[in-house]
Structure formats: structure tokens, C-alpha cells
Structure 1
């Protein structure tokens, strides 16, 4: 009895303290970032400061379920003490192999007017802020979420780099949304999105000398993917839910679940541009690898791919055999065979190609239509994956044939039922040792950590668009220098880069060295390269040698210099080598200074643009403290640093 009384007294004391205190702080381990959380007129808000200067103004917190409102009439029950959170993990499909996460955690326990409970969990690391919601009650009745009040309130003089969300059921064969719009660059905060669909993640902001990158991670089958709403009066961006049409056939869009119930993490990488670009918050807060999926069964790699230049007519037995030989000659791990292979080649002949490829130490990847009523695309194989029984049968058949992975295209949006479809595909494919690449797809949101067989996802206006229209080729330099700071910061991106010769009917704006740098600057578990055997035959032997040996995964990544939409210089480490690559997104030549002193005593080889046309030049460098390199308009370079 005495123990019970003590517990009651302690609870009352904590509650009274929580009620009396107006603001609560959660600081990063190095004290550079500080989050203030507080109730105002019975609604919950937060602000963020960096180095004691506020960088995010009063921003809302709260959720609205169909049965209960957790955005108003809230009371604070208690606040946990600051608790240190540590995590370490290995992830090959990332900018870094070994990851260490350290943060301060604090949980805010609240209830609404009906005494129904909600927790808000904050974790603040040296590179950013993460928070999510939790309904701790237990209830077997399904609850439905109808609105998320979460907002990110930026100051009026901040700038933004943001990709518009395309409207559901628009575009070619009604396949949108596919995260395939160009970023609006260096725009004023508060600028309305061009459509009611809003803006996608990650969204980049700059305020004075602080950069902030907003996204989400830890998305499982209990929630939908979200976005930022179209209108953001005063720079206050509220989270939006998907269009009602973004559903798996006949199923739900908005989140629904029994209780207890966690939401995904909302994450904001914060700091210098270097800190934000090197951040791994997107995987630090993702769920760990599924225990039934062995990462060792799935290999990172590079792939040959005929469709990117030669299109549908190239999907024949003879041409694919040629591209298998191409992959083997380049020492690349894979060959991707695209649309209509089931019609043009067939399963039996594909088994022959798989056997032939195996002899050449090349694995085959096969294209699939995601099927379902969300698109009208005629490409096949179709209707093989959206029924689980049929999907398992198909995956078993592919494993028996010796196929190493699947590319699945034309998904239908961000609704909870569609998210569930993605995750079921990943799990089922893993059972048959099949890797997965999704195109016409949503943002991965850290899934590559949870599902080690997920190699990459498109979720970007990539190289294929450059092959379609000149306007896309004209945009490539600006686009390619924006996405290392946005789309590709947290998640692998299947841009399918690098054309070193010619694209039919297109006047390429970028130089060859710009293109050569892209597979280093862009991170993807499988890098599908947009060059042909004929094109490769035109490049110098040292360029071919570089492409035969450049790595499939990285141990570390550093941003040396850059600015979104202008230029990027990035260094990545593999084994004992460093690969330094730069691209210039502007029409004027650019000279970059950086420090090579840390590489003294090593051999450094520069490949950059030659003096004529699309030529290359190779130079052996001396590692010194003040190294200068000039990039041509829309040009680039690659430096390989290795032991002598």
C-alpha cells in the first residue's frame, strides 16, 4: 500500500512539474542543436535552434484520427528525462559502410480532452532532429488517421529547393505520381507548389548559414507515405496525405491501424551544407534489417542496359547476348533486360541467356510491370506480381532460372495499401534471393536498410528523359548538380547515368567528363550505366579501365565543395582508394580549389575534358595542399587516389 501511495505522489509531482514548466529542451550531444517543445493554447509546438540562433520558427505538432483529435485541447502528463540513444550498423547500400548514431531522446506524454493518450518522441543528433508519434493505448478496433498537423515553419528570408508532387492518374498512361519532376531551385519559402499535390521529400532549405533537409523514414505498412502541402503561408509547410486515388486496387489510402501505433519518423538534417549532404539520418532512424533477410545474399554492382539508348526493339535474344558480353568485358556484375522480354525472348530462351551469363560471371535482372488497376501500361510481364500466390510462384520460377533480381515499374502512389504492396514485394523477393529495383516509384525512405535486397529506386527524373526530349538534355547540368543535395542524400537513386558517346536525336549539353563523374557522385546499389558497346569502343583505354574497376559500394563519402544547381565536388572511398569527382552545372568555366595534402605520398590520376569536342585527357598529379582544377562549362572530372 505504501509503495502504491509513493507511486501516486511521484506521478502527481511529475505531472505538476510538467504543467508548471512552459518549455522543454532536447539538445544534440554536442549542444549545437536545440529543440524547444511547448504547449500554447493547449496545442503542441516546437522550434529548433542552431548555435543558439533559431532556424525553425514555431511549428505545429499533432494528429487527427477519425475518432479522436490529438491536435488541440491537449494537456501534458509528463516528460521523460533526457536519455542517450546509440546505434551502430553496417550498410553497404549507402554513402558510408559503418554507421554510428548518437542522439539525445525525450518523450512527451500527452492526453486530449477525452483523456486519450499520445506520445511525441524527439531524438536530436549532431546532424539533425527526428520525431514521431506514438499511441500507447491498446485497442483492437482499427483507428483511421484523417489529418497530420505536423509543420515546418521556415523564416521568410529562407530559400528552398523542392520537387513538385505530380498529380495522381496524370502523365503517360496515367502512371503518376512517380517523383519525376524537376526541382524548383533557390525559390522563396512559401512559394506555392504548381499543383494541389504539393511537394515531395527530401525538401532542402537554406536560412542564413544553416541548411535544413526535411524528409521521413521508418515507414512501415502501418502508415502511408506523406508529402508537404501545396500552400505554405508565411513559410509554414504542413505535412499532407496522399490523393485518394493513390491506392492499391480497392484498398485504403490514409493510415489505419489498431493500437498501439507508431508513425514514421519526421527528420530534419541540419547544419552546414557539408553536414547535411553527409548526413545518414534517413537510415539511422530506419528499421534495422529484417532478421530473415541475409545481406550476404545480395551483391551491389554495375549493369549494362540496352533499353536506355536502343529502346523496345533491343529486347531480343541476340542483342541481350551482346549486352551480356558487354557486361562481362567491362567486369560489371549485371545485365538488365527490360520490357516485353517474356514476349520477345520467352522464359525458356531467357533461361539459356541466364546460363550463358553465368558462364561469363554476369547476373541477369528482369523487368516487370507492377500491374493493377492504377495504370494502363501494356508492357509485359504484367499481372504476375500483384497476387501474392502468383508472385511467389513467379519468384520461385526466376530463382530456378538463375535470375538475380527484378526491376518493377509503374507503381501507383503513396497510399498505405500501396506502401504495403512495396514491402510485401521486398520480403517475398528476398525469400528467393532476388534483389529489387523499383521504377515509376515513391521515395525509398530508408527501406534499403530494412530490406537489404532493395538495391535502388528511381524516384527521380533520370537519364531516360534525356533520351526522350532535348529540353531534358538542356536541364541535365542544373538537375544533376541539385540531386546530390536533395534526392540522393539519404537513399539510393537509379538515375541510370553516364552516356559518353551519342544519344539518338539529342544534342547532349554535358561533356564526357561530366558524364564520367556521375556514377561516382550518384549513389545506387546497382548502377545501370547508359552506354553501349559501340560507345565504349570510342573512349580511351584509360577511361574504359576506370569503368572496369570503379567500385559498386562505398566505405565513406565527403562533400568537398558545392552549391545546389551550380556545382558538386564529392569524394568517396572504396578500399584503399579515394574517388574524387566534380561536375559543373553552369554555362561558365569554374575553378575549384581543394586540399590534396591528406593524400601526400599517394598516386593521383586526373581524368577530365580534353580540348576538343567530347574528348578526354589524363594527368598524373602531385598531392599538395592547394590543388586547383578548372571545369569546363557543363564539364567535370574524376580523380583516383591510390597507393603508388
Structure 2
């Protein structure tokens, strides 16, 4: 009798434990390599973990939202777990790392119920190159709901290392223009290290975890959310989501934290994962997970190269005669565009700009012009100013530019990642599309898949670009290692307006990179419009084979392949256009390096043309090569390019 009673108690205890903590729910990638496990603790706290084959890449990490009127991160019950279903998508991109994109994933929606009848669904999509999930708040409401915080975390394995970008404090920096994603990456630091600026770490965040690679970012940003980043503290390598700071709205009273009516889908939390860095460099997950474009007339969207005076010549060069010379320069180099930067409205004027646009068209060149974005969020004085924030003024200005024959705008000095600022970005993009204007955002947030939704968004800065090299020697000294981390971080999530390639000396600074390094950046970095730093006088001094290489570079790329590299040390990337591969490599270290390339990864090749550094750091060599195996000595802070047959 006693034995039977003990058996009954054991059975009841087991049943209660199973009821309190259901069996994990699994979602796997189509190839079976990536696996997500979702569980609920007996306290009702949902969590997930991520593995690649047998390797754990994320330890159990938290899920949930803190609403203004409900905590949907604990006390939850699993109410349903839909069946895993395949998701497929094919689309084209005009100005990103790959033209023809194909997405395959397995999708599963898991729903939890909380107090007061509130429910929270989490949709997971697991592809061969990563994991994405988003929260769904169902129902309908006329009044806006508010999310006070996400409980989402990413708990890296012990001994993981990070290549992380410090997130800046809002309203700091020059003329209160931070955060603008223009810091140097902290490289190879221990996971869990507090952020150096006290505000957390920006997306994208790269980690080396258990011999594999993980890139964290977000995608699918619409008007209902703010941009987020990783919080300042991450004990035991567990990183949490931080919202935009209080002063990152378009006005003091404009929304910063997320608010929306129901139903409500949050942006995707994205983890690009794989055993090699090739997965990170080649993945298109951020655009795979973003909304297709609604722009029907895309004939005006033309990627290309641009001449640009400001980097080396600064504000004083924004005058009629100099810009006419840069138009001639673009025409000679067969580049599509010439960018005329700040103060054009004062130092050239609208009438003379119309004249320049007409002259440029006669040379088969189109003009891009600069604008200050700001309403009240910063103190940057450069003009044109205070014409884009108000809708009526913006639409009038864009219509005027279209009538003048201007083809695009560079808009600078944004105010952060608040929800209202995310809406302002999209207001600008939608109105620019109506006026058939291309867009370049500077002093800006990161791309979050917008190049798919808004294909006329040609590029975004969100990087400590070349202009900083002209400000002081410390920045010039850091160019090599900084450039060697960017293909694995910032440029891995979308077009990046670093503004590369300078063969000339920098006024007042000593450039520490070789000319081969600078030439390699023309291919290594991807941007829908690539604005080159080099000026006409400097280009004339280069050998004809270098000039011809730059002149004949394609305006956009069809595909990308990672060949070799390590973040902050060196990088070798191949890009394809018109059935031809171009390979670029840089050595970011202060010591010479030998790189061996297996070009068979790029398919059949008969060899090609190689351009390397010459006997000094300011000249070049070129030669033909055959075969698919190539061993190259690369100078300290040097580089090379290959053009394959």
C-alpha cells in the first residue's frame, strides 16, 4: 500500500513538472545545421538557445516584452506552438552585396499567455545562415500601446570574444551630433566587457563563439519601433536589448520608445551564424527579412561612382569653378556622379547649381547635393539647413531639385534612433522617391534592410569614415586596422559610405597606408554610390593601369565571396559583376604578410591581372598571372586587387 502511494506521488509530481515546464520546442534550418530550442521555466519565463550542429552558440537566453500595462516576460504559459513551415523568397537588389537574393527558412510561431488575458507570440525563422525572431502582439486597438523595454537577451558561450562598436551618448560630440555610429571597434574583447562609453554597444555586433561566428543586428524596421542596441552591462556574456535614449527623438515630445496600435509586429532580432567568416560577409539576412519595395517606378535608380571634393579640399572648394572641374574629372573617369557638398546654396547658389547640373548632363554626369537634416536635435551650422524637416518645405525643396536636374541628396547630422527619428528617415525616403531623387544618409543610423524596401537608398555612412583621417594623425594611424574590421561588421549589414581611395597625401597628416591598400578599398567596400576621395591632380599622377582599373570598375555588384581574413587584421573579398570577378585584399597590420588564395572558389578562371604595391608605399606594380592558386606577399598596411578573366 505504501509502495503504491509513493508511486502515485511520483507520477503526480512528474506530471506537474511536465505541466509547469513543457518539453523544449525546436526549429531547425533547411539543412539541419542551425537549431533553435525554445523553453519555458516553471516560473513561466520563456527562453531560447541556438546551436550550430553540436556546438552551442547561445546559451539559454531570455525572451519577452515589458508593456506599459503588462509584463510579458514571466508568469507565462505556453498555449500553442504552430507547426514548422517552410518560407521561401526570391528578390533582386539594386545596390547591395548581391543582386539576386534567395531566402529559405523554416518558420514557427510560439504563443504564450499571461495575466489579464494578454498574449505574446514569438515568430522564429531559421535559415542556413542564421536565426531571426520577432514578437507579435495580436488583437486590435485604437489607442496606442507602449513597450517600455525588451527582455530579449543573447547569452554568449564562456570565453566568447567580441568585435564591438561603442554606442555613443545622445547629444554629445561635435555640435551634439551623436550617436552617429562613428566610433572605433573594440576588437577581440571578452564577452561581457562593459561598454567603453557607458551606453552599450551598437549593432552590428560580431562575436567569435566556440570556434564559430555570430553577428547580431536587427532588420525589418518600420514606423512602429525605435532603433535598438546592446546594453552597457552584460554579466556572464549575456547581452540585453537597449532602446534609444531619451534625447533621440525629432522633438522633445516626439516618441522615442516604441508605441503602436495593435496588431503589432516588432522588428526582427537577427543572428547570422556559421563556422566561418564567409557566412557573415556573404549573408543577406537583413534584406531577406525586410519588406519588399512598394516603389513601382525604379528607372531613376542607378548605382555608380562619384567624384567628391570635400574630403581633401573641405568647405572652401564648394565653389562653381572647382565643382565644374570635378564634373570634368567624373566625366573623364566615366563615373556617373559628382557630389557637391555643404554650403553649395551659399557659395554657388541655386541658379548657378542649375547651370552646373545642365553642364554635367552634357558630360554624361549627374549631380548629388548635400543637406543638413536637422530640426532641433543638433547645432550643426552647415547649410542648406532647416528645409527638410517640415513636410511641406521638404516636398517643395525636393520638387525644386527635380526641376533643376539634381539626381540625389546627401542628408547629414541625424539625431539618433528614436521612433520618431525612424519615421523621419522613412518620410525622407518616401518623399525623395516621389521626386525621383537618390538618397545618401550621413551622420546616421545603420541600415536595417532598408535598401530592399527603399531601393533608391544608395548608401549610409554609420562608420568612422575617411573624413576622420583628415582631422588628426591619431585617426590616420588607425585606418589600417579599422578598415580590416569593417567587411565583417558594418559593411556586412548594408551599403557603407566610408568614402575610400586616396593616393594623395592628406593635408596636415601622414597617411600610413600604401597606395595598394587604398586601391583595394575601391572593391573591398560596397556602396550603392561609391564616393572617391582622390582628387583630379592625384589621379593624374597614377600609372595608366591603375587609372584604367578604377575607370572601368562596374557601377554595382552581382555577387560576393569571402576568400580570407580575420577581423582587424586582414581581409580578402571577391565581388562579381558582368560575369567577371574582382578580388581585393588589405593587410591592416604593421608587419608584412603572405596570403595564399584558392581562386577555384570563384569558378573557372584563366588567371587575370594583378595590381600590387611597388617598391615604395606610393607606387604600383602590375603583372599577369595564370591558374587558380596564388601566393602573394602583402606589405604592412598594404593591399592588392585582381581582375580575373
Normalised by the shorter chain, which TM-score bucket?
over 0.9
Q: Which of 144, 155, 159 is residue 146 of structure 2 equivalent to?
A: 144
How far 1:603 sits from its partner (Å)?
A: 4.5
1:636 aligns with 639
CA RMSD, Structure 1 to Structure 2 (Å): 1.3
How far 1:576 sits from its partner (Å)?
A: 2.0
**Is the contact between residue 409 and residue 437 of structure 2 (CA under 8 Å) also seen in structure 1?**
yes
Q: Which of 264, 268, 273 is residue 265 of structure 1 equivalent to?
A: 268
How far 1:76 sits from its partner (Å)?
A: 1.1
1:287 aligns with 291
Residues 1:120 and 2:143 are matched in the alignment: no
How far 1:208 sits from its partner (Å)?
A: 2.5
1:107 aligns with 109
Residues 1:606 and 2:610 are matched in the alignment: yes
1:174 aligns with 176
1:310 aligns with 313
2:452 aligns with 449
Q: Which of 333, 337, 356 is residue 336 of structure 2 equivalent to?
A: 333
1:387 aligns with 390
Bigger shift: residues 108-117 or 323-332: 108-117
**Is the contact between residue 293 and residue 452 of structure 1 (CA under 8 Å) also seen in structure 2?**
no
**Is the contact between residue 501 and residue 538 of structure 1 (CA under 8 Å) also seen in structure 2?**
no
1:56 aligns with 58
1:233 aligns with 235
SS at match of 1:124: strand
> In structure 2, what is the Cα distance between the partners aligned to 1:270 and 1:479?
23
How far 1:391 sits from its partner (Å)?
A: 0.3
Structure 1 residues 336-375: Cα deviation after superposition (integer angstroms, max 9, x where no partner): 0011100000000000000000000101000000021101
How far 1:295 sits from its partner (Å)?
A: 2.9
How far 1:156 sits from its partner (Å)?
A: 2.0
> In structure 2, what is the Cα distance between the partners aligned to 1:180 and 1:295?
31
In structure 2, the CA distance between the partners of 1:601 and 1:191, relative to structure 1 (3 Å rule), is closer
**Is the contact between residue 82 and residue 105 of structure 1 (CA under 8 Å) also seen in structure 2?**
yes
How far 1:599 sits from its partner (Å)?
A: 5.8
**Is the contact between residue 225 and residue 241 of structure 1 (CA under 8 Å) also seen in structure 2?**
yes
> In structure 2, what is the Cα distance between the partners aligned to 1:359 and 1:466?
34
In structure 2, the CA distance between the partners of 1:20 and 1:461, relative to structure 1 (3 Å rule), is closer
Structure 1 residues 36-57: Cα deviation after superposition (integer angstroms, max 9, x where no partner): 0011120110001111221110
> In structure 2, what is the Cα distance between the partners aligned to 1:83 and 1:71?
26
1:22 aligns with 23
> In structure 2, what is the Cα distance between the partners aligned to 1:373 and 1:96?
38
1:72 aligns with 74
How far 1:19 sits from its partner (Å)?
A: 7.1
How far 1:634 sits from its partner (Å)?
A: 0.3
Bigger shift: residues 292-301 or 79-88: 292-301
SS at match of 1:139: coil
**Is the contact between residue 56 and residue 157 of structure 2 (CA under 8 Å) also seen in structure 1?**
no
**Is the contact between residue 515 and residue 617 of structure 2 (CA under 8 Å) also seen in structure 1?**
no
> In structure 2, what is the Cα distance between the partners aligned to 1:25 and 1:388?
47
In structure 2, the CA distance between the partners of 1:601 and 1:521, relative to structure 1 (3 Å rule), is closer
> In structure 1, what is the Cα distance between the partners aligned to 2:289 and 2:325?
43
Q: Which of 342, 348, 356 is residue 351 of structure 2 equivalent to?
A: 348
Q: Which of 471, 474, 479 is residue 471 of structure 1 equivalent to?
A: 474
> In structure 2, what is the Cα distance between the partners aligned to 1:243 and 1:490?
23
The aligned length equals 625
1:5 aligns with none
SS at match of 2:263: strand
In structure 2, the CA distance between the partners of 1:601 and 1:241, relative to structure 1 (3 Å rule), is closer
**Is the contact between residue 22 and residue 40 of structure 2 (CA under 8 Å) also seen in structure 1?**
no
1:13 aligns with none
**Is the contact between residue 557 and residue 573 of structure 1 (CA under 8 Å) also seen in structure 2?**
yes
> In structure 1, what is the Cα distance between the partners aligned to 2:241 and 2:559?
32
Listed as ranges, the matches of 1:512-591 within 5 Å are 512-591=515-594
Q: Which of 240, 243, 246 is residue 244 of structure 1 equivalent to?
A: 246
> In structure 1, what is the Cα distance between the partners aligned to 2:327 and 2:399?
23
1:371 aligns with 374
How far 1:18 sits from its partner (Å)?
A: 8.9
> In structure 1, what is the Cα distance between the partners aligned to 2:292 and 2:117?
34
TM norm structure 1: 0.96
How far 1:294 sits from its partner (Å)?
A: 2.9
**Is the contact between residue 160 and residue 188 of structure 1 (CA under 8 Å) also seen in structure 2?**
yes
SS at match of 1:368: strand
The answer for unaligned runs of 5 or more in structure 2 is 1-16
Bigger shift: residues 379-388 or 269-278: 269-278
SS at match of 1:358: helix
> In structure 2, what is the Cα distance between the partners aligned to 1:533 and 1:96?
31
1:44 aligns with 46
Structure 1 residues 454-489: Cα deviation after superposition (integer angstroms, max 9, x where no partner): 000000000000111111110011000001000010
> In structure 2, what is the Cα distance between the partners aligned to 1:232 and 1:483?
23
> In structure 2, what is the Cα distance between the partners aligned to 1:509 and 1:110?
56
Q: Which of 603, 618, 622 is residue 618 of structure 1 equivalent to?
A: 622
> In structure 2, what is the Cα distance between the partners aligned to 1:347 and 1:108?
57
**Is the contact between residue 481 and residue 564 of structure 1 (CA under 8 Å) also seen in structure 2?**
yes
> In structure 2, what is the Cα distance between the partners aligned to 1:49 and 1:523?
30
> In structure 2, what is the Cα distance between the partners aligned to 1:19 and 1:395?
59
SS at match of 2:262: strand
**Is the contact between residue 600 and residue 623 of structure 1 (CA under 8 Å) also seen in structure 2?**
no
**Is the contact between residue 599 and residue 623 of structure 1 (CA under 8 Å) also seen in structure 2?**
no
2:417 aligns with 414
How far 1:583 sits from its partner (Å)?
A: 0.2
